[in-house]
Structure 1
Amino acid sequence: MVPHFPRPGAPDEAPGRSARPPLSVAYLSASGALGGAERALLDLLAGLRAAEPGWRLSVVAPEDGPLLDAVRALGAEARTLAFPPALAALGDAGASGGDGALRLAAGMLRAAPGTARYLGRLRALLAEMRPDVVHTNGLKLHLLGARAVPAGARVVWHLHDFVSTRRAMAGLLRRAAGGVSGVIAVSRAVAEDAAPVVGATVPVWTVYNAVDLDRFRLIGPVAELDAMAGLPAAPPGTLRVGLVATMGRWKGHGVFLRAIAALPRELSLRAYVVGGGIYRTAGSEVRQDDLRRMAAELGIADRVGFTGFADDAGAAMRALDVVVHASTQPEPFGLVIAEAMACGRAVVASAAGGAGEIVTPGHDALAVAPGDVEGLADAIRRLAQDPVLRDRLGRAGRETAVRRFDRARLAAEVAPLYRTLVAPR
């Protein structure tokens, strides 16, 4: 039988009903760094801590670091359970067919002994923690969590990725979905993509990501991007355009650099690549040295700064006049877009997939097709030459972020889901 999910935002307690006992939720993260999926997890934790202070919320990550530091700051429990090296390096990037699929298969064989030992340790840890719900955040943990869950606990997958085109991973998820009680998808596009993979008996619920509107705000600290990039200060009046992203291969760094190269030299602007490597999965990220080499070959080395990872993404965005999102594939959600809008920046978005759901082109962002170098260059040129348009998009973007992406919304949508899953059937 398909569990009935309450309407998003439905009250957790009906009038006159006695308060129900607090829940224990264990979150399994595939990384201890702070990528988009991990920031989304923190926003969910913050919302639940405020709405359900009696709940026990715990996060298990493969290493200590920024994620668990932030978890502790929220007053939640933080634990580490290290991946064995072969499992940490295993990923399905580029494994949709041919040699990529063979490399993935070989990597899975190498990782198998260590994965079996890790799975035993994970089972023991979860048995000790005795959660009501195991909420997995990352493809590896979707697979492992479904096999390690204690008796009586419910498993929720939080999908931040399109999975149907990742044939090897889709097959593994399909086989593991029998142990899953429900799936949270970060956009309608992800939900529609996941439904055939997980099957008709597993409900899929769309819950958009959120933004910390106190951290990503109009006025606040401003990063010194030139100093971070080792550049002299830009002349007054220079337009600052930045790609803020992880170093994932599909985040469009090459598209961004080629678009900057297509702009006329007399346009007074400086471009920034804001971000650094955070994941250990083999082959999943581009290298900054390669991007520097590309900028030199395009003749724009003097117009581009590489800042590395920014500890305060909000401060980095407030230092920019235009924030560019240039993903070459449909974006599952596009958290950077929502964060930049919250900061009141003019945004150019590669509006496909979930990213197409969170912007209204021409109202709160300019939209281009994924991989469209000429379209991206034209959008940047328009914004460089039209400060009124930049201001209008920034104001509308902030209004959109406040209305749609306040993280307090998450608890109102997710807490009833948890309650329904653990209720006696």
Structure 2
Amino acid sequence: MNRYSNPFPAGLALIANNGDIGGGEVMLLEMARLARGADVDVRVIAPKYPPEIVDAARAEGFIVLQFEGITRLQQARSLRRLLRGSSDVLWCNGLAPALATTGRRRRVAHIHQLPTWKHVATARVAAIRARCTLVPSQAMADLLPTSRVMLNWTSPLEVTARPDSQGSPMILGYLGRITCAKGVDVLLQALKILEDRKAGRFILRMAGDARFAPSADSVAIDAALLPVVHLVEQLGWVDRADFFCSIDLAVFPSTVREPFGLVAAEAMSARVAFVVSDSGGLPEVAGPDHPFVARAGDPESLADAIEAASSFREADPDGFVGMLDNAAHRWADEFSPAAGRTRFLQILQEFGLVSITANERPTV
């Protein structure tokens, strides 16, 4: 069904920003699962093309409605037509659906990407008359002062730790888009620095692809890869649990202000040590006591942080395990589905969709 003849009782409509699956769409599916688990009538509304989020939602048994269009303007017009007559609470999971539904009251504007300065005004327009504007980190809230922080969460990852092989290279791991914005060129430059310091100490596994990367990125990344190509294994997209099982130290070196840091939360769940850059929400997720933070865009600083993590693991194995324990506890307290559930249900309660007890009410 692709129109609201509205045979359904008023419920929750989760509207996707994109048809493909990125971090925001991962969170949309997480929220859909929680809403269904709380007996809320939930449906997913998404662009018809590309069909990734539509297919994923249908595979999990959700009611799915689609809107047409290739350009954002076409999609906005189609979405507004689709929503005529809807009494649902609209959860606009991104700037595009929030802007398309500007002025409607029974809605949430959930912004997952840090807007550029020229788009901050657009984000503020999109939030007009919304019940609330949500962002996933304080780094984003600083740009949108009327917003509220609702931390993202991740599903637990069942990971078997890789055996410690004395004398073999430490396996570094990168998971994400293969772009300069994610710091891939900086990571490869840092690997060259580490190789120059002590040959054969580190190798790198990179999981992800270069979809939507600017054409200039491939030139910069290929140039950085050339001197260390013998140290790098390019995996493409892989299962996250399999990825974390296969590495010793994850590295997330973004050079842009990250809105959250989902991969860091996943590493905490998987009990895998990690290095992050001081970019936006990444250090916020890692926590104030996380010891391995590098300056964004600085290969020397990143190499130093990787070397510090490696040295700590070798010099103090018990302390290293204790650090992983602390990170896992932080994930359980802040970024687990249980933690996310109470934050999410509090928002739904504000619309009268659920009722939660006093001791379930977190600070959002």
Q: Specify the TM-score bucket, using the shorter chain as the normaliser.
A: 0.7 to 0.9
Change (3 A) 1:53 1:143: same
Change (3 A) 1:419 1:391: closer
CA distance in 2, matches of 1:333, 1:189: 8
Change (3 A) 1:207 1:175: closer
Q: Is the 1:326–1:350 contact (alpha carbons within 8 Å) kept by the matching residues of 2?
A: yes
CA distance in 1, matches of 2:98, 2:12: 15
Corresponding residue of 1:178: 128
Change (3 A) 1:285 1:41: farther
Change (3 A) 1:374 1:133: same
CA distance in 2, matches of 1:375, 1:353: 17
1:155 aligned onto 2:107 = yes
Q: Is the 1:136–1:157 contact (alpha carbons within 8 Å) kept by the matching residues of 2?
A: yes
* Partner SS, residue 101 of structure 2: helix
CA distance in 1, matches of 2:306, 2:249: 8
Corresponding residue of 2:55: 69
The alpha-carbon deviation at position 411 of structure 1 amounts to 3.1
* Partner SS, residue 34 of structure 2: helix
Corresponding residue of 1:31: 18
Corresponding residue of 1:219: 160
Structure 1 regions of 5+ residues with no counterpart? 1-20, 88-114, 196-202, 223-233
CA distance in 2, matches of 1:125, 1:361: 45
For residues 110-148 of structure 1, give each alpha carbon's deviation from its aligned partner in whole angstroms, at most 9, with x where no partner exists: xxxxx2x433321221226x242111122222222326x
Corresponding residue of 2:268: 341
Corresponding residue of 2:207: 274
For residues 59-208 of structure 1, the aligned pairs below 5 Å read 59-84=45-70, 86-87=71-72, 115=73, 117-127=74-84, 130-146=86-102, 154-163=106-115, 166-195=116-145, 204-208=147-151
Change (3 A) 1:126 1:248: farther
- 2:43 corresponds to which letter in structure 1? L
Corresponding residue of 2:335: 405
* Partner SS, residue 184 of structure 1: strand
Q: Is the 1:30–1:62 contact (alpha carbons within 8 Å) kept by the matching residues of 2?
A: no
- 2:99 corresponds to which letter in structure 1? L
Q: Is the 1:35–1:246 contact (alpha carbons within 8 Å) kept by the matching residues of 2?
A: no
Match of 1:262 among 193, 206, 209: 193
Corresponding residue of 1:323: 250
CA distance in 1, matches of 2:288, 2:169: 25
- 1:348 corresponds to which letter in structure 2? V
Match of 2:153 among 180, 198, 210: 210
* Partner SS, residue 119 of structure 1: helix
CA distance in 2, matches of 1:46, 1:174: 29
CA distance in 2, matches of 1:343, 1:248: 24
Corresponding residue of 1:43: 30
1:309 aligned onto 2:237 = yes
Corresponding residue of 1:237: 168
For residues 193-241 of structure 1, give each alpha carbon's deviation from its aligned partner in whole angstroms, at most 9, with x where no partner exists: 112xxxxxxx52211000101xx13339x9xxxxxxxxxxx99823110
- 1:244 corresponds to which letter in structure 2? L
CA distance in 1, matches of 2:126, 2:258: 24
The alpha-carbon deviation at position 62 of structure 1 amounts to 4.2
Q: Is the 1:44–1:407 contact (alpha carbons within 8 Å) kept by the matching residues of 2?
A: no
Change (3 A) 1:399 1:410: closer
Change (3 A) 1:329 1:414: same
CA distance in 2, matches of 1:248, 1:358: 21
Q: Is the 1:240–1:270 contact (alpha carbons within 8 Å) kept by the matching residues of 2?
A: yes
The alpha-carbon deviation at position 259 of structure 1 amounts to 0.6
* Partner SS, residue 178 of structure 2: coil
Deviates more, 1:259-268 or 1:386-395: 386-395
CA distance in 2, matches of 1:361, 1:118: 41
Q: Is the 1:248–1:284 contact (alpha carbons within 8 Å) kept by the matching residues of 2?
A: no
RMSD: 3.0
* Partner SS, residue 316 of structure 1: helix
Change (3 A) 1:332 1:83: same
The alpha-carbon deviation at position 293 of structure 1 amounts to 3.8
* Partner SS, residue 193 of structure 1: coil
The alpha-carbon deviation at position 185 of structure 1 amounts to 1.1
Q: Which has the higher contact order (CA 8 A, sep 6+)?
A: 1
Q: Is the 2:206–2:235 contact (alpha carbons within 8 Å) kept by the matching residues of 1?
A: yes
Q: Is the 1:277–1:309 contact (alpha carbons within 8 Å) kept by the matching residues of 2?
A: no
